Structure 1
Amino acid sequence: MIDFRYHLVSLIAVFLAVALGIVIGTTQLNGPVLTNLQGQVTALQTDKRALEDQSRELQAQLDDVGSFDEAVGPALVEGTLAERSVVLVVGSDDVAPDVLEGLTALLGSAGATVTGTIRLTPGYGDPANDAAVEAYVSGPGRPAGLAPAEGTDPAGLAADLLAEVLMVPPADAGTAGPVPASATSSVLAGLEELGVLSRDTSSVTPADHAVLLTAGVPTDENALRRTEALVELVTALDRRGSGAVAAGDPTAIEDGGLLRALRADTSVSAVVSTVDNVTVPAGRISTVLALAAESRGTTGAYGSGEDTQPVPPAP
Structure 2
Amino acid sequence: MIDFRYHLVSLIAVFLAVALGIVIGTTQLNGPVLTNLQSQVTALQEDKRLLEDETRQLQTQLDQVGDFEEAVGPALVAGTLIDRSVLLVVGSEEVPAEVVEGVTALIGSAGATVTGTVRLPEGYGDPAKESSVRSYLTGPGLPPGVTPAETDDTSELLADVLADVLMVPGADAEDPGVVPEPAATASVLAGLEELEVLSRDTSSVSPADFAVLLTAGTASGDDAGDRTAAVVQLATALDARGSGAVIAGDLASVEDGGLVGAVRADRPVSDGLSTIDNVRTPAGQISTVLALVAESTGVSGQYGIGESTQPVPAPVS
TM-score, structure 1 as length reference: 0.94
Give the aligned residue type for 2:74.
P
Q: Is the 8 A contact 2:210 2:243 kept in 1?
A: yes
Does residue 271 in structure 1 map to residue 275 in structure 2? no
Counterparts of 1:76 and 1:233 in 2: how far apart (Å)? Answer: 30
Select between 183-192 and 2-11 the one with higher mean Cα deviation: 2-11
Unaligned ranges ≥5, structure 2:
none
In structure 2, the CA distance between the partners of 1:32 and 1:114, relative to structure 1 (3 Å rule), is: same
- Per-residue Cα deviation, 1:9-53 (whole angstroms, up to 9, x for no partner): 666655544443332221111111111111111111111111111
**Secondary structure of 1:173's partner?**
coil
Q: Is the 8 A contact 2:85 2:208 kept in 1?
A: yes
CA RMSD in angstroms comes to 2.0
Select between 5-14 and 204-213 the one with higher mean Cα deviation: 5-14
Counterparts of 1:93 and 1:15 in 2: how far apart (Å)? Answer: 68
Q: Is the 8 A contact 2:137 2:148 kept in 1?
A: no
Unaligned ranges ≥5, structure 1:
none
Give the aligned residue type for 1:53.
D
In structure 2, the CA distance between the partners of 1:13 and 1:174, relative to structure 1 (3 Å rule), is: closer
Counterparts of 1:151 and 1:157 in 2: how far apart (Å)? Answer: 6
In structure 2, the CA distance between the partners of 1:28 and 1:297, relative to structure 1 (3 Å rule), is: same
Counterparts of 2:158 and 2:6 in 1: how far apart (Å)? Answer: 100
Counterparts of 2:78 and 2:233 in 1: how far apart (Å)? Answer: 31
Equivalent positions of 1:68-217 (< 5 A) are: 68-149=68-149, 151-171=151-171, 173-175=173-175, 177-217=178-218
Give the aligned residue type for 2:265.
A
Give the aligned residue type for 1:121.
P
Counterparts of 1:240 and 1:2 in 2: how far apart (Å)? Answer: 105
Does residue 280 in structure 1 map to residue 281 in structure 2? yes
In structure 2, the CA distance between the partners of 1:131 and 1:11, relative to structure 1 (3 Å rule), is: closer
Select between 217-226 and 5-14 the one with higher mean Cα deviation: 5-14
In structure 2, the CA distance between the partners of 1:231 and 1:15, relative to structure 1 (3 Å rule), is: closer
- Per-residue Cα deviation, 1:94-129 (whole angstroms, up to 9, x for no partner): 111111011101110111100000111111111111
Q: Which residue of 2 is the match for residue 257 of structure 1?
A: 258
Q: Which residue of 2 is the match for residue 52 of structure 1?
A: 52
Pairwise CA distance, 1:291 = 0.2
Select between 186-195 and 135-144 the one with higher mean Cα deviation: 135-144
Select between 231-240 and 53-62 the one with higher mean Cα deviation: 53-62
Pairwise CA distance, 1:171 = 4.1
Give the aligned residue type for 2:159.
A
Select between 113-122 and 140-149 the one with higher mean Cα deviation: 140-149
Counterparts of 1:108 and 1:276 in 2: how far apart (Å)? Answer: 22
Give the aligned residue type for 2:275.
T
In structure 2, the CA distance between the partners of 1:190 and 1:3, relative to structure 1 (3 Å rule), is: closer
In structure 2, the CA distance between the partners of 1:17 and 1:261, relative to structure 1 (3 Å rule), is: closer
Counterparts of 1:185 and 1:49 in 2: how far apart (Å)? Answer: 58
Pairwise CA distance, 1:54 = 1.0
In structure 2, the CA distance between the partners of 1:183 and 1:32, relative to structure 1 (3 Å rule), is: same
